[in-house]
Amino acid sequence: MSTPNPNKPKILITGANGLLGQKLVDQLINQGNFEVIATGRGPSRLSGKGFHYQMLDIEDQANVEEVIGNIQPDVLIHGAAMTHVDECELNQEACYLANVTATRFLVSAAEKVNAHFIFVSTDFIFSGEDGMNPYDENASPEPVNFYGQTKLEGEELVKNSALSWAIARTVLVYGIAPGLSRSNIILWVKSSLEQGKEIQVVDDQVRTPTLAEDLAAGCILIAEKRATGIFNISGEELLTPYDMAIQTADFFGLDKTLIRRTDSTRFTQPAKRPIKTGFIIDKARKQLGFEPKTFQAGIGILAKQIILARS
């Protein structure tokens, strides 16, 4: 690392090559309030400058202890995870290692350097049973898939630690960034329809889809205020995947007749999805000044980035 800047607190991001990670690094550099240490497994897939990149495999405890011990971050945003929900269901050992064991390593190393710890979590800790949503921060978790179970266990590790901690829960993140290891709803609807492929989309699940930039902005508000506790950081609109698919088709002028309306009894995935989630974001609004974009505005931002990426 180049000579540290003693005037700025240090923030370390895990999973910086991912969708949230890349947006966090972009915004942190532009705001300039932190010295940014981006970490990820393998080489950096980040563009631009103004940050340090450090390889960090969070499943390797010695690597975690060494990197966190050397850098001694003031703030740590832990976004790294195994996020393929179906893969998590089918390969539970790998999912547990990535989402629980690795979080334990990070919590332990962060305690030694007294870092303010921000854990990124999910609506998939909830059952999604009828009548329970939208959820506020006091709702009782009851995961219905293994991924959700591991994220809940990660939350418990953080809550039971000696750390100054915050949990940023979010829902159905969409956006675009180079070299992503997974797609998201707007991208797969758009690319399927552009290829003339028919897609089946459920109309009985409910989410509050979240623009990746908004999630990053919410995490940074928590970091800057060293806010503690649980915060719902998501979009505000309650939409079904079918609504989202139709809005995406309309926005990009694609063929809506390729969208086959279905429901969760007929369309199944290896991992069960909680039917109705979605968050109430009043607490983040009041305490952090968090203000998400509308879904329409979010699609517009994503559309501009797609055009930019092509130029």
Ligand X SMILES: Cc1cn([C@H]2C[C@H](O)[C@@H](COP(=O)(O)OP(=O)(O)O[C@H]3O[C@@H](C)C(=O)[C@@H](O)[C@H]3O)O2)c(=O)[nH]c1=O
Ligand Y SMILES: NC(=O)C1=CN([C@@H]2O[C@H](COP(=O)(O)OP(=O)(O)OC[C@H]3O[C@@H](n4cnc5c(N)ncnc54)[C@H](OP(=O)(O)O)[C@@H]3O)[C@@H](O)[C@H]2O)C=CC1
Positions that interact with ligand X (CB under 6 A): 83, 85, 122-124, 171-172, 185, 199-202, 205, 241, 267, 269, 273
From the list 17-25, 68-76, 240-248, 261-269, the region that binds ligand Y by CB under 6 A is: 17-25
Q: What angle do CA 294, 299, 304 make, to 5 degrees?
A: 125
Q: Is 247 in the site for ligand Y (CB under 6 A)?
A: no
Closest approach of ligand Y to the CB of residue 15, in Å: 3
Q: What SS3 state is found at 124?
A: helix
Q: Which is nearer to ligand X, 111 or 142 (CB)?
A: 142
Query: Which of ligand Y, ligand X, none binds 267 (CB below 5-8 Å, type-dependent)?
Result: ligand X
Q: Which of 184, 247, 178 is nearest to 215 (CA)?
A: 184
Identify the H or E element spanning 199. strand 199-202
Which stretches of the chain are DSSP H helices?
19-31, 61-71, 85-90, 92-96, 102-113, 146-159, 185-194, 212-225, 241-252, 282-288, 295-310
Interface positions, 155-214, toward ligand Y (CB under 6 A): 170-173, 180-182
Closest approach of ligand Y to the CB of residue 134, in Å: 15
Following DSSP, what letter does each residue of 20-82 receive, concatenated?
A: HHHHHHHHHHHH-SSEEEEEESSS----SSSSEEEE--TT-HHHHHHHHHHH--SEEEE----
Interface positions, 69-128, toward ligand Y (CB under 6 A): 79-83, 98, 102, 120, 122
Closest approach of ligand Y to the CB of residue 79, in Å: 4
Q: Cβ distance 223 to 117 under 8 Å?
A: no
Query: Which of ligand X, ligand Y, none binds 20 (CB below 5-8 Å, type-dependent)?
Result: ligand Y
Beta bridge partners of 12: 37, 76
* Ramachandran assignment for 136, one of left (phi > 0), alpha (psi -120 to 50 degrees), beta (any other): beta
Q: Which residue is nearest to ligand X (CB)?
A: 122
Measured distance CA(23)–CA(15) in Å, rounded? 11
Q: Which is nearer to ligand X, 70 or 269 (CB)?
A: 269
11, 12, 13, 20: which one binds ligand Y (CB under 6 A): 20
Closest approach of ligand X to the CB of residue 185, in Å: 5
From the list 18-26, 127-135, 136-144, 270-278, the region that binds ligand Y by CB under 6 A is: 18-26
List residues binding ligand Y (CB under 6 A): 14-15, 17-21, 40-42, 56-59, 79-83, 98, 102, 120, 122, 151, 170-173, 180-182
